[in-house]
Amino acid sequence: MLALAVGSFAIGTTEFVTMGVLPQVAEGIGVTVPQAGHVISAYALGVVVGAPVIAYFGAKLPRRSLALWLMVAYACFNAISALAPTYGTLMVARFVDGLPHGGYFGVAALIAADMVTPERRGRAISLVMMGLPVANVVGVPAATWLGQALGWRAAYWVVAGLAVLSLVMVTLFVPRQPGDPAATGRRELSALGRPQVWFALVAGAVGFGGLFALFSYVAPMVTDVGGLSEGAVPVFLLTMGVGMVFGNWVAGMLVDWSLRTSLIASPVGLVVALLLTWALAPYGWVALVGVFSVTTVGSVLALALMMRLIDAAGEAQTLGAALSHAALNSGNALGAWLGGVTIAAGFDYRSPLLVGALSSVAGFVVLVVAYRTEGRSASSEAGQSVASRS
């Protein structure tokens, strides 16, 4: 699990580090900060596209082999990002770098779930996923500091090195697992015919817009709204990472206790946390309380959504697990885009938090509708069963 978490650590670092060096990226490639924010959206869209494609073609592959090949791709694509000379080439590089993201998290989650009894799978998956929040505690602040000191390209070279380390760790410590001969790309894609899968995807896409509205523009929010120096940005990223670690640890226990309650309650908590951050942002360091609460609640939502998709996907568990990160990164793209729209319209750098809160409200509504629809379907099937026996 530690070896798999190293891969999660590498992915988490590359996913969020752009947000910490966004002003440097904008200056380096000669665009505005809102335009540079589209680089974040490009990565997120790569995740959305890559998740079903990898699940389709990798359905029969041994899970360890699939994880290894995905890390090879990560190392290569981050190196390409570091070498990108223009805005256009960086956009393409970040898009292709996002392609392996969902597939890796999906296969790593399934490897972890197979190691334990069903009632402990939430905690097992949370351990493997722990690399993502730990990246925000260690990897992202360190890479951000390095990017500010040596140039933003250095941050991507760090991630390429982490991907190579993951390759070594997975090769040494993750046992070989045979592929599923019954698995087919068509069976995996059958999950897309299930209404509850789509409900979960939409809820994740709009619900996580709030979290990524904060992540995408945290650097200018800290400096322009909070009046702090550029050196304060890594501290805020560190605090957000600590919130993710804490939230991920709590999430493992909560989803094993009640998946439904955890999933319904977390968007509501996210709205409260985003509004708190909006209110505290002008007060500099005090806003740390807000950003910690946002990432804590957001981590609970992330794990609960993955578990929901795994269950809703039926036999297509590889696609279900991978799609959870497609949903998260749809929220990433949505949050970054909507935040850029509000900033370009003349509002300050905390305005994305309000848009994010509205997005989280929408996610909550979708989840409520999903569970009510599921309940009606179950009641209808039960009624038909009784009628047929009569």
382 touches 225 (CB < 8 A): no
Q: Residue 276 has what pLDDT?
A: 94
Q: Does 34 have pLDDT greater than 70? A: yes
Q: Residue 293 has what pLDDT?
A: 92
Q: Residue 207 has what pLDDT?
A: 81
333 touches 41 (CB < 8 A): yes
Average the pLDDT over 150-175 and give the result. 87
255-297 residue pLDDT tens? 888 888 888 888 899 999 999 999 999 998 999 999 999 989 9
Structure-model confidence comparison of residues 148 and 355, the more confident one: 355
Structure-model confidence comparison of residues 327 and 167, the more confident one: 167
Distance CA 359, CA 211 (A): 9
Categorize the per-residue pLDDT at 30 as very low, low, confident or very high, splitting at 50, 70 and 90. confident
247 touches 300 (CB < 8 A): yes
Q: At what angle do helices 288-312 and 87-114 cross, to 10 degrees?
A: 60
Q: Residue 285 has what pLDDT?
A: 92
The amino acid that residue 338 corresponds to is L
Q: Does 381 have pLDDT greater than 60? A: no
Percent of the chain scoring above 70 in pLDDT = 93
Q: Residue 260 has what pLDDT?
A: 87
Distance CA 257, CA 262 (A): 9
Q: At what angle do helices 2-20 and 121-129 cross, to 10 degrees?
A: 50
Q: Does 352 have pLDDT greater than 50? A: yes
62 touches 12 (CB < 8 A): no
Q: Does 318 have pLDDT greater than 60? A: yes
Q: Does 165 have pLDDT greater than 50? A: yes
266 touches 293 (CB < 8 A): no
Q: Residue 33 has what pLDDT?
A: 75
CA distances from 59 to 8, 72, 176, 283 (A): 20, 18, 16, 50
Q: Residue 382 has what pLDDT?
A: 44
- First-residue to last-residue Cα distance in the chain: 51
Q: Does 252 have pLDDT greater than 50? A: yes
| Lowest-confidence pick of 6-15, 332-341, 381-390 | 381-390
**Residue 26 φ then ψ, to 5°:** -60, -45
The pTM is what?
0.73
Q: Which domains, ranges and CATH numbers included, belong to the chain?
A: 2-385 (1.20.1250.20)
Q: Residue 67 has what pLDDT?
A: 87
Average the pLDDT over 100-128 and give the result. 78
Q: Residue 180 has what pLDDT?
A: 67
Structure-model confidence comparison of residues 325 and 371, the more confident one: 371
Q: Residue 385 has what pLDDT?
A: 43
Q: Does 326 have pLDDT greater than 60? A: yes
